[in-house]
Amino acid sequence: MDTGSDSAVWSVDGSKCKKFSSQQIFNAIRRTSPQKSWAPLVWHKASIPRHSNTTWLFILNRNPTFDRLISWNIDIDPACLLCGDGEESRNHLFFECSFSLVVWRSLLHRFHLSSVPSRWADILLWLPNAHPDSMVRLAILQVWQAAIYELWKERNRRVHDGLTLPPIRIMRYISSSLRDKCSALLSLSHPLGPRLAQFWFDPP
């Protein structure tokens, strides 16, 4: 008859362990989700939180654009309030819409790009390699997010307040917010500050 005392044996991922290791257990049970391919487009070192958050929600297509409201059986006119020509959806707003496209292309003019996509899916594919210079790519990401934020804000202004601003005013808001971000980086002596200042303080 075996009179030996019982002892606990830990088995992690099929291997027996001499003692309990919380780190081994944690590593075994945690679910590591692969990084979304769009994550670097949303969160980067020069991002503005309100711009990133709005962009993130549009990537997930969670904002209440008219096409989504209609899909929830809400009876509204689907016409885009920015251009009045086309039905509002995320893909229309950024930047198939003629109003939005003026803002998008005008802001990117300073980078002397040979071509600029206007369709949502094409832009997501283009952004990671939009320019060989990483600082230009970062500035383009800033423009993209700022344009999404300010154009959505303008759309909401038209829905809720009945106020209408022209593209040039939207572009000024965008430039102003990017200069403010640059100033904040400069005041923190962040190395990106002077490198981004070439775009936002001394436009060609």
Which residues lie near Zn ion (CB under 5 A)? 80, 82-83, 86, 97
User: Please, what is the minimum distance in Å from the beta carbon of residue 75 to Zn ion?
Assistant: 20
User: Please, what is the minimum distance in Å from the beta carbon of residue 54 to Zn ion?
Assistant: 18
Q: Between residues 80 and 185, which has the closer beta carbon with respect to Zn ion?
A: 80
Please spell the DSSP secondary structure of the chain, one letter per residue. ---PPP---EEETTEEESS--HHHHHHHH---PPPPTTHHHHS-TT--HHHHHHHHHHHTT-S--HHHHHHTT-----B-TTTSSSB--HHIIIIISHHHHHHHHHHHGGGT-S----SHHHHHHHGGGS-SSHHHHHHHHHHHHHHHHHHHHHHHHHHHT-----HHHHHHHHHHHHHHHHHHHHHTT-THHHHHHHHHTS--
Rounded to whole angstroms, the Cα distance separating 120 from 154 reads 19
Q: Between residues 59 and 83, which has the closer beta carbon with respect to Zn ion?
A: 83
Q: Between residues 42 and 171, which has the closer beta carbon with respect to Zn ion?
A: 171
Q: Between residues 55 and 89, which has the closer beta carbon with respect to Zn ion?
A: 89
User: Please, what is the minimum distance in Å from the beta carbon of residue 85 to Zn ion?
Assistant: 6
Q: Between residues 131 and 153, which has the closer beta carbon with respect to Zn ion?
A: 153
User: Please, what is the minimum distance in Å from the beta carbon of residue 83 to Zn ion?
Assistant: 3
User: Please, what is the minimum distance in Å from the beta carbon of residue 67 to Zn ion?
Assistant: 12
